[in-house]
Each structure stands twice: as structure tokens, then as C-alpha cells.
A and B are shown apart, each in its own frame.
Chain A
Amino acid sequence: MTSRGGSSHVGAVFSMADIMAVLYGGVLRLDAAEPKSPGRDRLILSKGHAGAGVYAALAERGFLPVEQLATHYKDGSKLSGHVSHKGIPGVEFSTGSLGHGLGVAAGMAFGAKLDGKAHRVFCVMSDGECDEGSVWEAVLFAAHHKLGRLIAVIDYNKIQSLAPVPETIALEPFAAKWTAFGWRVLESAGHEAAALLSALDAPPDAEGRPTVVIAHTTKGKGVSFMENSVLWHYRTARGAEFDAALAELEGAS
């Protein structure tokens, strides 16, 4: 998808690929035949630059034809680089500018709570995104209103756009920050399906706190020369690089 279309951010897509697989494969209650069914779980991808990961997962679950993925990023396509809901069933919300998803997810969860509904609202975020002040406004709000069915998922690969997180704006002690803000924190290995499933599908907190799943991931996971590399935040795999990456991914599956 990203090679044919020439899009960037493949490292960010691979980083959260296992999170997407577990969410769309085993956690989210969704119905491709009725994408807007009122009782569905909601998912907002706040790190919209990894939109290819949502499109691929939705295609796997039957929301759009797998063949349509080949149009990603091409002229006239509906599959934009940053995730967009227009014309794509199953995409709950469009993002691209970071720091927007959690507040809207909190608004959805707040509305659902007022209406006494039981569905969950997930928001998948990047670590670098937590530099945005708007994220912490939403964190305060969700804890104050005890939005127990709101689940933030952090793709904590510890690499930002230009440099590693600790060299950019340090987030540690990260889990302690969320705890101090009144959230339940669940930490998980970011590429182990069983661990992710148990964290992402955990029953709501008994005290009603919102939940954050901090998933320790590897940027560019699955392709040796992309892993933990700042370069592959933006680089597109082409030619020999593409063949080598595909061979590694196919070998792993």
C-alpha cells in the first residue's frame, strides 16, 4: 500500500500493526453490515498519519474490499495518507493533526455515559502526540467525569519524527503521569497478541477510572532495517528495499 502509493509513515503503521490486529481481530464489537450500529465500540485513530493501518484492518473485517487498498494515496482515491472517514465505512473519525482524538473520544464517551450506553470508546495515540497540551486537557476531563468506558491506547515506540522521545520532550515517568491524573494504567508488550488482548479487552475499572493501555512497541516492527529507525518515519520502501521488507514480513507470518 505505502510503497505503491509512495506514502510515508510506514514505521508508524508497523509500530501499531499488532495493536490494530488485536483490536479489530478480537476486541472491537463491530458489524461490517451495519457500520453505524448504535451499540458498536468506537475507535478513533488519533495518530492519523498511520491511517493505512486502519484501512487495512477494516478491509480484513469486510468494511471495504481488500482490492481497494491498492488505491491508497493515489490520485482520486478516498484512502488518504492521514485517516479520513469520508466515503470509508468503519472509520469513525478523521485525524491528521495530532492531539485531537482523545478529546473527541472523551466527548463520545461522555455522551454515551449520559445516555446510559455500555459500548466502549478506544483512542489509539502516539507517544509524540502526548507533547500536545490538548491531550492533557482531555486526560483531566476524562478522569474528572469517570469515563470508565474510555480506553486510550498509546503506541509507545519511543521514537518521534526527528529523534527519540527522550531527546525530544521526555515523557518518563510516563505511566506515573497517567496514574497521577486519575487513570488506570495497564502496560503491555506491544507485539504479543495475548498480552495485548488481555489489556485491551480488560473489564472496565471497578472504580470507574478511564483506562490507558501503554503498549511498548517497536517502530517499524517486522522489518529488520526499519526497526527503531527514525529514518522510516518518513521513508517509502521502493525497489530492492520493498522486496526485502516484504520477504521479511512474509517469512514472519
Chain B
Amino acid sequence: MRDVFIASLLEEAKRNPRVHLITGDLGFGVFDKYRAELPGQFLNAGVAEQNMTAIATGMALEGRVVFTYSIANFPILRCLEQIRNDAAYHDANVEVVSIGGGFSYGALGMSHHATKALIAHPGACYLRLDKSSAGDTSRAGEVFELGRIRTIREGARLAFLTCGGVLAEVLKAADSLAADGHEATVASIHTIKPLDRERIIELASTHDVLVTVEEHSLNGGLGGAIAEVLADANVHPRLLKRVGIASDSYVSEVGSQEYLRTRCGLDAPALEALARQLLAGL
């Protein structure tokens, strides 16, 4: 995901000299090609995320499209107020990119389209890139649009709604379910905001069971956002089950992404078992 992102950003930045990349002193080796080709469109702001975001805002207000880059929480939580008060309130074209969402420290083909879409979108944006990836799930001729849910598999009765690299686990679970006739729908919600309300309502109206899957806290996550959409629309599937990281705890164990997914019920076998249990209870 990361390498695809940088490659597509380099492509866009070569076409558009107003595109600028700022890193918060992270990404060893990642930017070598970008820096060699576009030294004038690259900046290392040092270990100073608040200032990185402020600099990006100032540059964006003077006509640039500025990507800030770091890993995990650094480009988001450390400087959340700069993102909110400085970039977002002023509609500045600051694109905050964090590598390592969830337990990763990537949807391959789609990253390229996302980069282009961010540049075209006015105002501040946030792109959360997962190190893991579900591979290239794009279909021939598919048009990527911010805010439009991608339907990767069409099934009946049960729909998985998910986002990020954990899509790979969902697809494996759907494969196993399909092997004995339980074809499930798999929807990839690559854009959390704006959320594709119409498609969510449509999926809830045409399936008995919705299972939301996110490698994220259940507190304020995708599942909660979907529940809000459905409550507001007065659309109620027979079952809505959220799968993610338990709301009021931190994961204090360490381990690989695969291990931690298993610990949180976010791997393919757990998702398959949950789906079978929910379908049997209908």
C-alpha cells in the first residue's frame, strides 16, 4: 500500500508542480525515488507533527496541495487541533496520510485512485493506509469514486461491510461460506466520510444480516456510523453485528497483525463462524 501510494503520488506530483510532500522524519528509504526526481517538492519537517501540519496549512493557503506523511497516530492525534482548526476550518488542501492503520504497521490498485481523488478534492482530507492488503480487488472498467461503496461480491441474506486491509480476511470468510452455498455480499467502504448512505440503506433493505468488520475501535468506528445511518433512515435489518476492537480497552498484547486479528475475532475463521451462527439463528 505504502509503495503504491508513493509511486502514484510521484506520478501526480510530476504532472502537478503544486503538489508537495512533507514527512515528519519517517519513511526511511520510502521517498528515495521521489526525492531524487522532485527534490523541490519534498520537505522533511523533522520530528514535529504540530509544525508539519501548520506548515502544510500555510503552504496550502498559498496555493499548494500538501501531503503530510507519518505513521500510526503521529500525523493525526499529536496534531489533531492543527488539522481541525488550521487545515479543515480554512478549507486548506492538506492531505494527511498515515501508514499503519489498525494492527499493521494496504487495497492495492485502489490506492492509486485515492491519491488522485485526494488531490482533486478541495479542503483537508485524511487517508489511512493499512500495511496489509486484500490484493487488487478492482474489476475491469470499475470507476473509483470517493464516497461510493465498492461491492466486491454479490450475495444474499448476509452482507459484510468493511474497510481497510482486513477486507482480505472478509473475502476469505466469504469464500468459505460460498463453498457450501452461503454466498455473502462483501462491500468495501473505502471512504468513511462522506459515507455512502444510500448504498448502506440499500444493503440493509436487501439483506437480513449486516456484519460490519473494522480493524479499529468499535467506539466511534465504521459499525457505529452505519448504525447511525440506519437509525436516522428508520431502516432496520433483522441483525446488525459489529466486529472490531472492544470499545473501552487498549490492546496491550503485542504480536503480528495476523495474531492480533485472531485475538480480536477479526480473522477469516472467526468471521466465517460468526456468519454461520447469525444465519442459523434467523
Interfacial residues, chain A to chain B (CB-CB below 8 A): 85, 93-97, 99-100, 102-112, 114-115, 133-134, 137-138, 140-141
Contact = CB atoms under 8 A, between A and B. Distances in A.
B50 interface: yes
Contacts of A103: 50-51, 53-55, 57-58, 82, 86
A104 B40 contact: no
Given A134-B51, A137-B50, A141-B48, A110 B58 contact: yes
B147 interface: no
A141 to B, nearest CB: 6
Interface centre among B54, B59, B64, B85 (most CB of A within 10 A): B54
B268 interface: no
Interface in B81-96: 81-82, 85-86, 89-90
Nearest to B49: A137
A97 B54 CA distance: 13
A94 B88 CA distance: 11
A107 B46 contact: no
B61 A108 contact: yes
B67 to A, nearest CB: 14
28 contacts: A93-B90, A94-B89, A96-B85, A100-B82, A100-B85, A103-B82, A104-B55, A106-B51, A106-B58, A107-B54, A107-B56, A107-B59, A107-B61, A108-B59, A110-B43, A111-B58, A111-B59, A112-B62, A115-B62, A134-B51, A134-B82, A137-B48, A137-B50, A140-B46, A140-B51, A141-B46, A141-B51, A141-B55
A146 to B, nearest CB: 14
Contacts of A97: 81, 85
A97 B83 CA distance: 13
Contacts of A102: 54
Across the A-B interface, the 3 shortest Cβ-Cβ residue pairs: A107-B58, A103-B54, A137-B51
Contacts of B54: 100, 102-104, 106-107, 134, 138
B46 to A, nearest CB: 7
B72 interface: no
A142 B75 CA distance: 20
Given A97-B85, A100-B86, A104-B86, A111 B48 contact: no
A93 B61 CA distance: 9
Interface in B26-50: 40, 43, 45-46, 48, 50
Contacts of A111: 58-59, 62-64
A80 to B, nearest CB: 12
Nearest to A109: B58
Given A103-B51, A107-B55, A111-B62, 15 more contacts: A95-B85, A100-B86, A103-B82, A104-B54, A104-B58, A104-B86, A106-B58, A107-B54, A107-B57, A107-B60, A110-B55, A111-B58, A134-B82, A141-B45, A141-B46
Contacts of A99: 50
Interface centre among B43, B59, B62 (most CB of A within 10 A): B62
B85 A94 contact: yes
Contacts of B46: 137, 140-141
A122 to B, nearest CB: 13
Contacts of B62: 107-108, 111-112, 115
Contacts of B58: 103-111
A82 to B, nearest CB: 10
B87 to A, nearest CB: 9
Nearest to A48: B85
Contacts of A134: 50-51, 54, 82
A48 B57 CA distance: 17
Contacts of A106: 51, 54-55, 58
A179 B31 CA distance: 34
Nearest to B53: A103
Contacts of B40: 114
B59 A85 contact: no
A141 B112 CA distance: 31
Contacts of B45: 141
Contacts of A85: 90
Contacts of A115: 62
Interface centre among A94, A95, A99, A111 (most CB of B within 10 A): A111
Contacts of B43: 110
Contacts of B51: 103, 106, 134, 137-138, 140-141
A234 to B, nearest CB: 22
A97 B89 CA distance: 13
Contacts of B53: 103
Interface centre among A93, A107, A108, A109 (most CB of B within 10 A): A107
Contacts of A93: 61, 90
A94 B56 contact: no
A145 to B, nearest CB: 9
Nearest to A145: B43
A253 B93 CA distance: 45
